[in-house]
Amino acid sequence: MQYISTRGGIEPVSFTEAVLMGLATDGGLILPRAIPRIGSETYTEWQELSYQELAFEVMSRFIDDIPEAELRNLIYSSYESFDSEEVTPLVHQGSLHIMELFHGPTLAFKDVALQFLGNVFEYLLEKNDSVLNILGATSGDTGSAAIYGVRGKERINIFILHPHERVSKVQEKQMTCVTDSNVFNIAIHGTFDDAQAIVKAIFNDLDYKEQQHLGAINSINWARVLAQVVYYVHACLHISSHENDKATDFSVPTGNFGDIFAGYIAKRMLPEGTIRKLLLATNGNDILTRMVQDGDYSLSEVLPTSSPSMDIQSASNFERYLYYLLDEDPNRTKQAMTQFAETGIIDLADFQDQIQRDFVAERATEDEVTTTIAEFYKEYGYVLDPHTAVGMHCVLRHQRKGIPVCCLATAHPGKFVETVEAAIGQSIERPESIQNLMGKESRCELMDADRNLIKEFVKKHAKHG
């Protein structure tokens, strides 16, 4: 399997080269040269597989430069820390199905991919006798999932910046209570935008980046998308056994387009008709909803909401879908993304028919999120977190009678206690892992939002081969 850039400026690379490259050197995103297709007979044979064995069958179609036994070991070790044997279990309510993606160590869907990516990084670094220093900025969830994905790994140090006193207590504790010697948390005086700007500026210093062996673990890495494809296939197999093999809709709360793009890949990969529709759900930060409904992919102000992981206007994974929308033409893709960087707008009105064949979209206001949490709890006794409630609102607006639909539950409600308890009018049980955090030792550096200070700190503590 060879991988290419959406902008066409690199020679084809292998999976392992793609993982280490992260962002293509021409500024594009990496994709497989072709999407493998799964025949009906093979798909049926997957019915009885465990999650780990299914992950191997799916991933091995995209990975041919890691030996089978070693790939299996990477997959199995990635999900040992999950508290569910099924990894991403499903809850069934008639023709409505909820896939719980929050059974990993940080109680968010990002664990599914980042546990795997952390292990792949470690494997490749050992194979190449090299080291990696991961540098990132977070508003909360990505930082903790990345830290848990690489904690204790001998060849990796991780440096995560977060805005001081601007993340939730749970998010802060999930990061700073990891005191492994290879983990460095840095709280800066400033905002998340300040932290992000520092990280981007450091990565743009190419000499420093090379000298300090810097790497990224964010959602543009193809390995993260691939790991998420697996749980769509897993859901389809389980739902088909409940629904007499009917085609399934998926509702996906998304802001960065990575999770729903994994669904798009799964839809193209599986036998035709396995996945019927992908329901794209956003909060008030609705650039993706506007793109689907009106062909309007244009920037607007980022609004703070109760579903902060989706408070995004420029979706970093959208370029991958745009490449397919533009008939896999790297020149047109590069031109469109250059235009977006300059103007903040891509006009996709001429592509509405195709976009609406691929997606249905809906936005949820803050009032609608609160109402959805309250009404769903009243009817089913099931507690939704605010992000999942955005997805469920989309389900309730678009579900068709007799069509099974699966809503992705992307975070545990215990991570957003204030919003959830205000909606349902009663206390909820905190997961034991969150309760245990509150009394734990924490370690964090508090620094000014000065990139030179950050560069000095990273240089002092970086691993060198």
Whats the size of the chain, residue-wise?
465
Cα–Cα dist 143/301, whole Å: 24
The residues facing 215 across adjacent strands are: 134
* The one-letter amino acid at 309: S
Give how far Cα 413 sits from Cα of 3, 225, 303, 325, Å: 37, 24, 21, 35
In the numeric block, the tokens 């000065």 are attached to 450
Residues forming beta bridges with residue 132, ordered by sequence position: 156
110 carries an active-site annotation: yes
Q: What angle do CA 32, 37, 38 make, to 5 degrees?
A: 135
Closest CA to 158 of 189, 177, 132: 132
Sign, CA dihedral 387-188-219-280, equals positive
Cβ burial, residue 308 (10 Å; 0-12/13-18/19+): buried
In which region does residue 156 sit, left (phi positive, over 0), alpha (psi from -120 to 50) or beta (all else)? beta
Q: 110, 267, 277, 415: which one is catalytic?
A: 110
* Residue ranges in 28-168 assigned as alpha helix (H): 40-45, 51-59, 68-78, 110-128, 141-150
Cα separation of 18 and 24, whole Å? 8
Residue of 161, 46, 63 lying closest to 117 (CA atoms): 63
Lookup: tokens for 62: 């995209």
Q: Give the number of C-alpha atoms closer than 13 A to the C-alpha of residue 80, restricted to the C-beta side.
A: 9
d(CA 101, CA 113): 11
User: Mind telling me the catalytic residues?
Assistant: 110
